[in-house]
């Protein structure tokens, strides 16, 4: 052993579950942070060999290249149904989906609500960035009232485009949900909380407690037309008041 190895301690390294490849995500986008948190949780729970990820259509469609566990690419919105099929066939594997807001709360609402109410023993990582990122920034079900997008050029008018869906609050009303928490990755404190929540959701799954969902407030600097730092500030000032952070359901705490 060399002297350097004796005296230095490695404090930061790439998680084993995260592939050593460049991602296609835009600079400043928070997908990278969330991917890392999932990978850290998988490493810490030592379940890489049992984990199966499901990524549907959206910015995260190519996440199958970014995680080192087995991966399945699902049709738009259908990840909870695909994950259900995986989990029912292989109940001892750890199954997670990684879905955006358009995917989960618009085209995949039915699949999401029913996987949740069945108490399907899977974990959903839900990225809420108030926009369809991959297709260039159209209105999502989570787009805020007044928010300008490509398809709400005058701002989301709730008279014609309706209101945003608060997914965590909605799913928390269902008996099949074991854990629902909304977190954010806008600062270090919140990133640490998000990590804890994701790990807890996976732990609940290994204990077969039922459906778990972690909603992550995220940024989309490219489609918001803001730089990464201003995007984080926009998230804090606009998204957090509408989407308060916190635990919305915890079967164990009840």
Partner 1 sequence: MERNLMKGNEALAEAAIRAGCKCFFGYPITPQTEISAYMAKRMPKIGGVFLQAESEIGAINMVLGAASTGTRVMTSSSSPGISLKAEGISYIAGSDLPCVIINVQRGGPGLGGIQPSQADYWQATKALGHGDFHVIVFAPSTVQEMVDLVTKAFDLADIYRMPTMILADGLLGQMMEPVTFPDQQSINEYDKSWAADGHKNKRKHNIINSLILSPEDLEKSVQERFERYDKIAKEEAMAQCYLTDDADIVLVAYGATARVTQSAVDLAREKGIKAGLVRPQTLWPFPADHIRTASENASSLLCVEMSMGQMIDDVKLAINCSKPVHFYGRTGGVIPTPTEILTEIENISGGAKE
| 3-state secondary structure at position 217 | strand
The region of 65-73, 136-144, 164-172, 227-235 touching partner 1 under the rule CB under 8 A is 65-73
- By CB under 8 A, residue 84 contacts partner 1: yes
Rounded CA gap, 86 and 235, in Å? 34
Give the pairing of strands 177-184 and 246-250: antiparallel
Residue of 48, 148, 165, 226 interacting with partner 1 (CB under 8 A): 48
- Position 110 contacts partner 1 (CB under 8 A): yes
Sole binder of partner 1 in the list 44, 70, 169, 203 (CB under 8 A)? 70
How far is Cα 83 from Cα 125, in angstroms, rounded to an integer? 12
CA 9 → CA 12, 15, 18, distances in Å?
Answer: 9, 16, 21
136 binds partner 1 (CB under 8 A): no
Q: How far apart are CA 85 and CA 217, in angstroms?
A: 28
Based on the shown chain and the rule CB under 8 A, indicate whether residue 119 belongs to the binding site for partner 1. Answer: no
Taking the C-alpha atoms of residue 109 and residue 80, their distance in angstroms, rounded to an integer, is 10
Q: Which stretch binds partner 1 (CB under 8 A): 27-35, 48-56, 123-131, 216-224?
A: 48-56
Alpha carbons within 13 angstroms on the beta-carbon side of residue 116 total 26
Whether 154 and 161 have beta carbons less than 8 Å apart is answered as no
What number of chain residues touch partner 1 (CB under 8 A)?
35
* Residue 59 engages partner 1 in binding (rule: CB under 8 A): no
Residue 164 and residue 158: Cα distance in Å, rounded?
9
Determine if 34 is a binding residue for partner 1 (CB under 8 A).
no
Q: Out of 87, 166, 195, 199, name the contact with partner 1 by CB under 8 A.
A: 87
Residue ranges with strand state E in 25-113: 51-55, 70-73, 94-100
What would you report as the CA-atom Rg of the chain, rounded to the nearest whole angstrom? 18
Q: Which of 34, 37, 41, 86 binds partner 1 (CB under 8 A)?
A: 86
Residue 123 near partner 1 by CB under 8 A? no
According to DSSP, the residues that pair with 194 across neighbouring strands are none
Q: Which of 75, 145, 176, 228 binds partner 1 (CB under 8 A)?
A: 75
If the CB atoms of residues 82 and 220 are measured against partner 1, the closer one turns out to be: 82
Our CB check for partner 1 shows the closer of 56 and 221 to be 56
Binding site for partner 1 (CB under 8 A): 48-52, 54, 61-62, 64-65, 67-75, 78, 81-90, 93, 110-111, 113-114
């Amino acid at each position: 052993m060399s002297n350097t190895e004796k005296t230095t301690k490695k404090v930061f390294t790439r998680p084993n579950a995260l592939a050593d490849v460049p991602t296609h995500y835009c600079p400043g986008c928070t997908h990278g942070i969330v991917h890392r948190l999932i990978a850290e949780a998988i490493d810490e729970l030592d379940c890489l060999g049992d984990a199966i990820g499901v990524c549907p259509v959206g910015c995260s469609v190519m996440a199958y290249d970014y995680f080192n566990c087995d991966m399945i690419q699902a049709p738009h919105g259908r990840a909870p149904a695909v994950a259900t099929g995986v989990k029912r066939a292989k109940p001892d594997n750890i199954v997670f989906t990684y879905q955006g807001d358009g995917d989960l709360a618009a085209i995949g609402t039915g699949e999401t609500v029913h996987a949740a109410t069945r108490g399907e023993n899977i974990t959903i990582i839900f990225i809420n960035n108030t926009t369809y990122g991959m297709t260039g920034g159209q209105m999502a079900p989570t787009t805020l009232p007044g928010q300008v997008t490509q398809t709400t050029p005058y701002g989301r008018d709730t008279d014609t485009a309706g209101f945003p869906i608060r997914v965590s609050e909605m799913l928390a009303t269902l008996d099949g949900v074991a854990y629902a928490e909304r977190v954010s990755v806008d600062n270090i404190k919140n990133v640490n909380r998000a990590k804890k929540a994701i790990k807890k959701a996976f732990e609940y799954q290994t204990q077969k407690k039922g459906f778990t969902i972690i909603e992550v407030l995220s940024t989309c600097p490219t489609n918001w037309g803001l730089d990464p730092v201003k995007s984080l500030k926009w998230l804090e000032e606009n998204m957090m008041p509408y989407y308060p952070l916190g635990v919305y359901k915890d079967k164990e705490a009840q």
